[in-house]
Amino acid sequence: MSRLGDLGARLYRGDVSLDIVGARKIWYAVSILITILAFGALLLRGLHMGVEFEGGAVYTTPATDVSVEEVRDVAEETSGSMALVQTLGDDGTMRIQVSGLDTETSNETRAALAEALGIPTTDLNAELIGPSWGKQIADRAWQGLAIFMVLVVIYLAIAFEWRMALAALIALVHDLTITVGVYALVGFEVTPGTVIGLLTILGYSLYDTVVVFDGLKETTHNFTRQSRFTYHELANRSLNATLVRSINTSVVALLPVGGLLFIGGGVLGGGMLNDIALSIFVGLAAGAYSSIMIATPLVADLKAREREVAAQNRRVLNKRAKRAEAGAAESDADLDAEASEDEPGPAVEADDQPGDEPDEAVGVGGQRRGPRRQPVSRARGKNRPSGKRR
């Protein structure tokens, strides 16, 4: 068994435990800091909305030797807006997107691009997207997101309880905020592919959260019938049991998405692949973090406010304190007993040891004085009927 598999087995059995719920204030602080940075990026840089949402023009060029930088400079100088230029193949075909153009400005930009490319204007394919259509798409995307959130809350409230539904909703908003903030920081264009990616990561984040909540529900089913653990401790044990599984699932999902983002989009110039891959990659990482570090600790804090759960937590802590006091008293008694055994008794002279006979007084010249004591004969009184000595 690998080291990670052995760690997962030990976490599941409870041999080792990571105090994730106990350190929840640290995770809350980290999430708040990331959320503040995301909102700051949104306020300072904003989102670069694609032509599908703001309206604009999309130009497709034939094969050309003109560089991407030259085409971008011409498009931005003529239109006065930011242009997104992507290569569509090895032959130099390009796709140019310029947001917020009306019909007149679009025709002027098309003529300038054709002149820079050295081709007739008719050879430059142009597609004009009105802002009303983009606004309609954006409104429907927001409506779909709101309906999704409401359905998620209703389902979790029925399958589990409203506290878990609230925690899952907060985790989903957390993931959305981080993903949108990263989009604002890197300046990627928000396209329909971005919306698809966001809905995908919301479903995946919800799946991971439901797995963790199911284990939590099973672990705390008989919470009031035991007196060893508080609700926070049981929640932490449940989280440790599914921790390695959540990490493995997230890593396996991130690997292909990372390949799509960094190789397909970065190296090969995948165009819309960047929009989808970035939202899925950031959302998967944020979802794995929120389902472990945010959702379960939030449920534990919300449950601790219940009267029955709070009372049971107090009983567990009181019993634990009493056991600790009893153990300390027994330890002190053992120490006192050991100390009393080690204390020395009254001093005994060497000449007065039990069983030794006292020496006789010695006179002048070394001659002994007084009667000399003889050893008692063991045969005395042996033949008498009583066996007693006289």
Q: Using one digit for the tens of pLDDT, what is the confidence trace for 62-76?
A: 887 788 888 888 888
pLDDT single digits (tens) 238-282 = 888 888 888 888 888 888 888 877 776 555 555 566 778 888 888
> Distance between CA 296 and CA 307 in Å, rounded?
19
Strand arrangement of the beta sheet that strand 56-60 belongs to: 83-87, 94-99, 56-60, 125-129
pLDDT of residue 210 exceeding 60, the answer is yes
The matching CATH number, chosen from 3.40.50.1000, 3.30.70.3400, 3.40.250.10, 3.40.190.10, for 56-129 is 3.30.70.3400
Mean pLDDT for the stretch of residues 288-305? 90
User: Which residues, in sequence order, are CB contacts of 129 under 8 Å at separation 6+?
Assistant: 51, 52, 55, 56, 57, 58
Predicted confidence at residue 390, as pLDDT, reads: 42
Residue with tokens 């409230």: 157
* HSE-up of residue 366 (Cα within 13 Å, Cβ side): 0
Q: How many CB atoms lie within 10 A of CB 273?
A: 17
User: 3-49+133-305 has which fold?
Assistant: Multidrug efflux transporter AcrB transmembrane fold (1.20.1640)
Residue with tokens 């970035």: 278
Type of residue numbered 35? T
Domain boundaries, the chain: 3-49+133-305, 56-129
Q: Do domains 3-49+133-305 and 56-129 have the same CATH topology?
A: no
Distances in Å between the alpha carbon of 44 and those of 39, 47, 187, 246, 332? 9, 10, 12, 35, 65
> How long a stretch of residues is the chain?
390
Predicted confidence at residue 94, as pLDDT, reads: 82
Please state whether the predicted TM-score (pTM) of the whole model is above 0.75. no
pLDDT of residue 355 exceeding 90, the answer is no
